Chains A and B, each alone.
Chain A
Amino acid sequence: MKIILTAVDVVYNWARSNSLWPLTFATSCCGIEMISTSAASFDIARFGAEVFRASPRQSDLMITAGTITHKMAPAMLQLYEQMPEPKYVIAMGACCVTGGMYENDSYSVVRGVDRIIPVDVYLPGCPPRPEALLDAIIKLQKKMKTESLMERREFLEAHKPKVTYSDDRSCEVLLPNPEIEVIHWGVQKTGYDKNAEVSNV
């Protein structure tokens, strides 16, 4: 049984890894690099990923190109959930990897999309060069070619969304998922007192 599944996996992985259909999703300047990658001089079509789909229901790769704010986060999670399985995510740019230059003290920016959706390839840069995005796509293709369906299920189970929608329709931000304990791995702020007086100068 396992031998048959492995043989099926090889054909299946080869077929889908060479025909990735990315979602047209760009929230800021990384989107310009993504457009540049898909245009003639860099030509993402060489790697079979040129069909940028405007609908999440027809795509299987999400390149989160740009800063994700709290206002954008529910829309992004909804788009991810609307994509059919199997689906993959490339976190493109510093903002999507850790929050980037907004990571320190921003009130409105999500500190890395991996707090919301499972990420397969992290692509740092501010913004990354088109060659870097092509490299990320090749790395994703390598990952897809070496994995099996069962491994993918385990991966998704381990990287479940850490947030959830509110039942209240008037609540427009994502809430923490009560079933998952979130372990924060970021650099801790030292010497910061929340109740300290703020000088008005």
Chain B
Amino acid sequence: MSESSIAIDQKYGVKFLDRTSDNIEVVQVKPDMLVETVTYLKMNKDTQFDVLYSVSGVDKDGCFEVVYHLFSTIFSKNLVLKVIITKNCPDVPSLTGVYSAADWHERETYDLFGINFLNHPNPERLLLPNDWKGHPLRKDYVNDDERLSWNAR
């Protein structure tokens, strides 16, 4: 089956990408349509994805991916959303207005990948010290902070 079984309106411009081995659909969403699409998926009575249980980032060759995992407690159904953004301008709208669970997940993704979540209420680092230099899970990250020279091997 190469088509999505979830009826998402054509106006959102959602593109069906893949289906995982445990039959979870993966769809690609445009960054500027993300909040509208997710609000639709949460509110529409045929989908009702009422849980956001993961936000993560992937550093691909030439782009970043932000991956959202949604779950519907009504239909017991999973959905994976992918947003592909450029490395020069890693901006994505925040989902904290739709799911409050997105708050810390987005802070962690910002912390480790440097992806900026626009309109986030508290866009600070979550795990690392506030004055840390760089974003460690990027492929081109090198830890050369002079202040931490005492910890060299």
Contact = CB atoms under 8 A, between A and B. Distances in A.
Which among A71, A107, A108, A163 has the highest number of chain B CB atoms within 10 Å? A107
B153 A172 contact: no
Contacts of B53: none
Interface of A: 70-71, 103, 107-108, 110-111, 115, 162-163, 166, 170-177, 182, 184, 186-189, 194, 198, 200-201
Which among B131, B150, B153 has the highest number of chain A CB atoms within 10 Å? B150
Interface majority SS (helix, strand, loop, mixed), chain A = loop
Contacts of A170: 130-131
Nearest to A171: B131
Nearest to A192: B153
A173 B145 CA distance: 11
Which among B127, B152, B153 has the highest number of chain A CB atoms within 10 Å? B153
B60 A163 contact: no
Contact of A173 (B59, B62, B147, B153): B147
A177 B152 CA distance: 14
A172 B131 contact: yes
Sorted nearest first, the 6 A-B pairs with minimum C-beta distance are: A172-B129, A176-B150, A200-B61, A186-B153, A107-B143, A107-B136
Contact of B139 (A108, A110, A189, A200): A200
A189 to B, nearest CB: 6
Interface majority SS (helix, strand, loop, mixed), chain B = loop
Nearest to A187: B153
Interface in B60-110: 60-62
Nearest to A189: B153
A71 B150 CA distance: 15
Nearest to A168: B131
B149 A107 contact: no
Contacts of B140: 198, 200
Contact of B127 (A71, A110, A173): A71
A188 B153 CA distance: 7
Contacts of A103: 153
A186 B152 CA distance: 9
A115 B150 contact: yes
A170 B124 CA distance: 14
Given A71-B129, A173-B129, A188-B153, A194 B60 contact: no
A176 B131 contact: no
Contacts of A115: 150-151
A163 B150 contact: yes
B43 interface: no
A195 to B, nearest CB: 9
11 contacts: A70-B132, A71-B129, A103-B153, A107-B136, A107-B143, A171-B131, A173-B132, A173-B148, A176-B147, A182-B149, A200-B139
Nearest to B62: A200
Contacts of B152: 184
